[in-house]
Structure 1
Amino acid sequence: MAKLDTFNDPFDFRIRTLPEPNPDIQTLRVQSNEGVITKFENLTDDTYRVVVTCPEGSHKLCARAGQYGTIKVDGIQKPRSYSFAQAPERENPNEYTFFIRLVPGGELSAWLAEKNREGEQVKLSGPMGKFGLDESAKPMVCIAGGSGMSAVNALAQEVQAKGIVRDCYFFYGARTEKDLYLHDEIQALKDNWPAGAKFEYIPVLSEEPEGSAWTGPRGFVTQHMKEAYLDTGIVNADNLKAFFCGPPPMIDHGIQALQDAGLSLDDIYYDKFEDMRSPAPVIDNQMCVLCDECLMVKATENCIVEATNFKRDDDGITEFERVKPAHSSGLYYNALYIDEKECIRCYACVEACPHKAINPNYDKVPTTLRKF
């Protein structure tokens, strides 16, 4: 009987050693660099501008405006995903800018908030995600909330830098006036927007105290977009592209308002900011075609693994056995599995899967192509 690391060759019936995968051969779309935080500044009381500089000769991440990367620091087990906050055309060589908001219970953002982190070593990986500009010149409705300002700011910078003649209505939802930031940068975008097109910035405050000096719109940013721009015909769902970045409830409400007005979901682009409170994605192995797209973008080494011998209770999977690739019968008997304990909820695998085999709403009991 052959051992686990051998197999019976059916052609000459000899027992042969299984080949080992070469760890030096990797086909990943995600590159990783060591870097240093070279700029750290408060944008608001709980939001920081963080610039990571990588050494000369390091991998160029080749991110597009709208994409994101992960930052990992020593002492914190998992990396955290953040959108790149500037268009590549605006970044200095080997520099990557992020707007990071302090999140309750967020380990990495809490670490940042402890003190000025300039000079700290980090590991930067990317790019991930499919959020980005389309190729049309249709008017843009851009809606950001919180640190979602980062990706939408990068999109607007790309339009301006490339000279695309395209109207842009940039809505930003914040709680109070003190939570607004990028005043000079937004004004510079407006002043340098391509001739023949319109740029309008509309900050909307949801918790601004009554009686304050604020004279701008109040309430929920998506509701204001609907009532003041969509319902009045300032923007027309028949000729529009929409871009959202921020909290899932804001995005869901905005998408519904635009669809109710007749805008196709194909004309809506978004990046929902998930965190560890969100459910981990689940792979339906009966829908999986083994294309490996998810493996090419995984954020941590052990978030997506091949596994077998699952044990579970009412709360889900409690234990499983890792399978060594090339030392098994493959996914025919085993399962490609997302380990909730290792997953950082970046959802890069969900976006990468071309067959919709990964979704947080799928049955958490792993399936295989063949039971026995």
Structure 2
Amino acid sequence: MSFKVALNFEDGVTRVIECNDGETVLDAAYRHQVKLPMDCSDGVCGTCKGSCKQGTYDLGDEYIDEALTDDEAADGLILTCQMLPQSDVVVSIPAASSLCASGPQSITSTITSVNALSDTTIELNVALSEPLDFLPGQYINLGLPNSDETRAYSFSSCPGSKEASFLIRNVPNGLMSTYLSKNANAGDVLPVTGPLGSFYLRAVERPVLMLAGGTGLAPILSMLASLVQNPTSQPVYLLYGVTNVDDLVKLEALQEYADALDNFSYATVVVNPDSAHEKLGFVTDHMESVPFALADADAYLCGPPPMVDAVRQYFKDAGTNPYSFHYEKFNPSQPKEEAA
């Protein structure tokens, strides 16, 4: 028996390794040539301290209090030299991946199809040279053929498959947009680096509110795909906002997720006041439709900066913050900004 351990480094790089039953995370990492911080490896120095708030594990009682106090252990802190996973886990490592001889993975992808879903959204489907494990919600840097230029895109597909998909905003004269809409062909090979990011679906232990704007729907779709494979009894609700009704994409996929997940529901919102759409305005105008208390929920938001700022202001003005709030905002042709 073995378990997957997702090592999430402080620079946003994630490395997924296999840990055998009875093997410590530290030993498994070194077996995979990932050099996690350590000194004594006996639970004495505390150098290998990290945190784990997703998955189950055993720390035993061989470490000393100076290395890890009872209060720290109760709060989810761990020592990788003592940690024995009992399920798949996500471990936060307080060090940059470069210091652990473990940068992001570099593989290739081959275009299988490019679909114009609307005037504003392109769907890119690729076959990866090898399956890529990532946390649902994370992104990769995607390169263009014969170029050093890369762009960051969130997966809209489920982790662990050789088939991957992305929703890409069609930016006028954008480097990637122009390539995909005018020059790309099935069979083109694109470099992939990742996975990256601290925006990902945590263990679902309470209601989940998902908020998406435009192509910010991509990581939400990946999260929903993951929930189909790992169902939850908690309610999950999505508010998906766009500028014009024609910008609404992947509605068939959302309905399929609603059919597959008994506790998932969603609503779409259109900004354009001239639209005949049922819900007009911004997602913040329709928070009353959320079927649970915000204070009891984990919230996940992905969208352009004005949307992220508006939602944050809404929570502030309402005087009610979610139990936890994870967001990612994006600008065309610029690095993503994340907050956990």
- Specify the alignment match of 2:176 in structure 1: 108
Distance 1:148 1:264 in 2: 21
Corresponding letter in the other structure for 1:272:
K
- Specify the alignment match of 2:75 in structure 1: none
CA shift for structure 1 position 139: 1.4
Q: Say whether residues 1:345 and 2:335 are aligned partners.
A: yes
CA shift for structure 1 position 133: 1.6
Distance 2:132 2:171 in 1: 26
After TM superposition, the structure 1 = structure 2 runs for residues 1-372 of structure 1, keeping only pairs within 5 Å, are 27-55=101-129, 58=130, 60-88=131-159, 93-194=161-262, 197=263, 199-207=264-272, 209-210=274-275, 214-225=276-287, 228-229=288-289, 234-264=291-321, 267-276=324-333, 345-347=335-337
Distance 2:300 2:166 in 1: 19
Distance 2:308 2:214 in 1: 12
RMSD of aligned Cα (Å) = 2.4
Does structure 1 retain, via aligned residues, the 8 Å contact 2:119–2:170? Answer: no
Change in CA separation of 1:190 and 1:116 when aligned onto 2, cut-off 3 Å: same
Does structure 2 retain, via aligned residues, the 8 Å contact 1:29–1:127? Answer: no
- 1:168-219 deviations in Å (ceiling 9; x for gaps): 111111112211111221111111114xx3x221110012535xxx341011
Taking structure 1 as the reference length, the TM-score comes to 0.60
Distance 2:229 2:319 in 1: 31
Does structure 2 retain, via aligned residues, the 8 Å contact 1:247–1:273? Answer: yes
Does structure 2 retain, via aligned residues, the 8 Å contact 1:51–1:97? Answer: yes
> Which secondary structure does the structure 2 equivalent of 1:88 belong to?
coil
Does structure 1 retain, via aligned residues, the 8 Å contact 2:156–2:221? Answer: yes
Corresponding letter in the other structure for 1:39:
S
> Which secondary structure does the structure 2 equivalent of 1:223 belong to?
helix
Does structure 2 retain, via aligned residues, the 8 Å contact 1:83–1:151? Answer: yes
Please list every run of 5 or more consecutive structure 2 residues that lacks an aligned counterpart in the other structure: 1-98
Distance 2:185 2:304 in 1: 26
Distance 2:175 2:184 in 1: 16
Distance 1:68 1:118 in 2: 22
Change in CA separation of 1:254 and 1:193 when aligned onto 2, cut-off 3 Å: same
- 1:213-246 deviations in Å (ceiling 9; x for gaps): x341011122222xx336xxx4312211111001
Taking structure 2 as the reference length, the TM-score comes to 0.65
Corresponding letter in the other structure for 1:36:
T
Distance 2:177 2:148 in 1: 13
Does structure 2 retain, via aligned residues, the 8 Å contact 1:238–1:262? Answer: no
CA shift for structure 1 position 135: 1.9
Change in CA separation of 1:346 and 1:177 when aligned onto 2, cut-off 3 Å: closer
Change in CA separation of 1:257 and 1:26 when aligned onto 2, cut-off 3 Å: closer
CA shift for structure 1 position 75: 4.3
- Specify the alignment match of 1:332 in structure 2: none
Change in CA separation of 1:135 and 1:259 when aligned onto 2, cut-off 3 Å: farther
CA shift for structure 1 position 30: 0.8
Q: Which has the larger radius of gyration?
A: 1
Distance 2:100 2:189 in 1: 25
CA shift for structure 1 position 48: 1.5
Corresponding letter in the other structure for 1:112:
L
Does structure 2 retain, via aligned residues, the 8 Å contact 1:66–1:132? Answer: yes
- 1:53-110 deviations in Å (ceiling 9; x for gaps): 123xx4x431110000011013444200000002226xxx422211111123421122
Please list every run of 5 or more consecutive structure 1 residues that lacks an aligned counterpart in the other structure: 1-24, 277-343, 353-372
CA shift for structure 1 position 114: 1.2
Greater per-residue strand proportion: 2
Does structure 1 retain, via aligned residues, the 8 Å contact 2:112–2:186? Answer: yes
Corresponding letter in the other structure for 1:80:
R
- Specify the alignment match of 1:339 in structure 2: none
> Which secondary structure does the structure 1 equivalent of 2:302 belong to?
strand
Residues paired across the two proteins, number: 242
